[in-house]
Structure 1
Amino acid sequence: MSDLLTGDFFGYESLLPEHECKELRALRDFLETEVRPRVNAAWAAAEFPMDLIPRFAEVGAVGRGYEWDGRPATSRLYNGFQALELSRVDPSMATFLGVHNGLAMGSIMILGSAEQRQRWIPAMMRLEAVGAFALTEPEGGSDVARGLRTTARREGDEWVLDGAKRWIGNGTFADHVVVFARDVADDQVKTFVVDKGSPGFTATKIEDKFSLRTVQNADLTFTGCRIPAENKLEGGNTFRDVNKVLKVTRGGVAWSGVGCQMGAYEAALRYAGEREQFGRPIASFQLVQDLLARMLGNVTASLGMVVRVAQLQEAGDLRDDQAALAKSYVTTRGRETVAMAREVLGGNGIVLDNDVIRYFADAEALYSYEGTREINTLIVGRSITGHGAFV
């Protein structure tokens, strides 16, 4: 198969069936022609290009991993490559769709009843409604399973939520926010959908953020926030249910980490071929070739790992520790790769026009969200030693 990505050195894309290859190429064309020209200005302004939202639905980038309304689900491998393609152009766009597709819609698809799916999913599939996912709290990140402070109490035909969430992607403009709160009656973490405009619910944009700047992260507050009883997701009754969603989406973050690396590598390779010093392209210098080869090694090893993750997901065999290792490894290698890309570009590497500094900054957020490196290594460590080392 021709026209493989420059950064896909071993041709993993060729593992996709032909119809999914065509769909992926159509998405790639859309991203290159309509999205890439916009991303640096949006990143610099820390504003989301809202007019692009319906276009993502029109090109079929929404909900492809779910069987819905007679449309078959795409393979796990295709879903991964979609995340890679998005992140290769702009990790912020990958995060926007990852939150909407994977975390918000995924929570409703996995934990919601048939009636609840029918109530919310159709509009979300068309991106007439945008989703967000609210788990992290101002005082709780890695320890949120034990330390979740947002509470929920049942009062007749309503639930009343009190508390706060932080770092909520899409939070400033989401129509439906999946919220996790501890039921005061049984101390279990329950899952709710809070609609925009619900009484007692406010969202405030987090300013002065220097990673994934286009993503609209928000602080959310719930002060006596009342929602209908039917907005509690039927299958969201414990923190184990939350993990059913995170297990799937953690692999998606790893794919985005590969895309971020690949975008930086391709930008560095392109620059090295165009930039001349001492009368010849810097791509002809040994030290530059060494950096490029090391970057490509990181990209290729990371891509091989996430391809295997997708295969295990497809077979229903992916374990939590395998997802954790992939997320940890890929985003750690990503930090190395974007730093080497910056080095190839020298001083020009800090200029936004050359793209690399955007990947450099965005890699920091990918490194931390959906489980820090340390937390994921503890998950792996517990698996391989049989000893839990969590505090």
Structure 2
Amino acid sequence: MSPGRAQLTWASAEFAADPVAVAEPHRSDQVVFDPDQLGWILLRHDDIDTVLRSDDYRKDPRTASACPYTTKQRAMAGSSLIFMDDPDRKRLRRLITRSFAHRNIERMRPRIQDIATQLLSRIDPAGPFDLVSAYSVPLSVRVIASLIGVETTADQERFVAWSEDLELEYGHDLTPADTLRIRASRAELAFYFLDAIEQRRAEPRDDLITTLVTAHDRDGALTEEELVSTLVTLLVAGNVSTADLVSNAAVALLRHPDQLAMVRSDPGLLPAAIEEVLRWDGPLTIVDRITARPLTLGEVRIPAGSWIWPALASANHDPAVHPQPGEFDIGRTDNHHLSFGAGARLCLGAELARVEAEIAIATLFGFFPGLQLDPDLPPDRHSKPTFHGFSRITCTA
């Protein structure tokens, strides 16, 4: 088989379940063609790092050549920041950067701690419980909702339900009922934000909604559609990957009791532990780009206007950069993982995700020092090909 033509597809249940194992046999090919998605998957750390840091690649699916996935992406793109290219991307990102600045994230620590404590206090330690539905998901949704400006518990719980419905869009084999749920929840969420926008016009607050409303009304820096779309995008993007990070961290430490013991004896190791989780079992497996000009990798020439998918999970397990990549080692040094991307599109919420995961894990094991995975019900992976986490983690306290 010629280089770049190995049979590998990322939009599969197998890749969603174990992207590292699926990609591993193909890494020597450097780049492989995905016959289902009609594009190329990048597998090596250095190639992926170069692409992520370059300005030669776009995100707007309307600029790509036709392929089976394009129609769905075009429908999802709209005015979403995720799919924007410059200069629009820079314009919108600049408006929300302050909310994710270090000072603001540090100011949120007490709020994150309060939410974590509240959620764990509701769990009955007498019986088994699902860590995902009881803790990881509601924690991540309520934190991002607080940052946006949604403070009431009742509204935050509505956000949990809406977010779970919108996440279905990233799964396999959507049913007609799933599609209806997605449309209904997207509409309800949009109407919620439209109402919140009018409230901020009448009574401005110190929150992101007010920031965007002011930018729209005073400066014309974004359209009304972009305003609503940005808020919806932040809810989903700020929830899914962070919830998965918290879940993955809990499972990784529970399955490596020696590493957990190190964290317990020295809490100062927790940030390094979270970084190793991001590398070893990161919440985002693959991202997409569109070539603005031809790209040559090895013997493969990829035409301009083609889909390419940098496989972050593969890069994070590349032995050329990460010695013994299959080992979970919180003492690992020079942990140059790509789980938050790199370059101009580095994840805006990276610091918030790190802080949230550190607080979540410290509080979890402080609350339940005897926490264990249920031996009869192993954790279930969810089936979202680009996200990597669990749909259920049954624990006993």
Could you say which TM-score interval applies, normalised by the shorter chain?
under 0.3
Q: TM-score, normalised by structure 2?
A: 0.28
Q: TM-score, normalised by structure 1?
A: 0.28
The one of the two structures with greater contact order (alpha-carbon pairs below 8 A, sep at least 6) is 2
Name whichever structure is richer in strand by fraction.
1
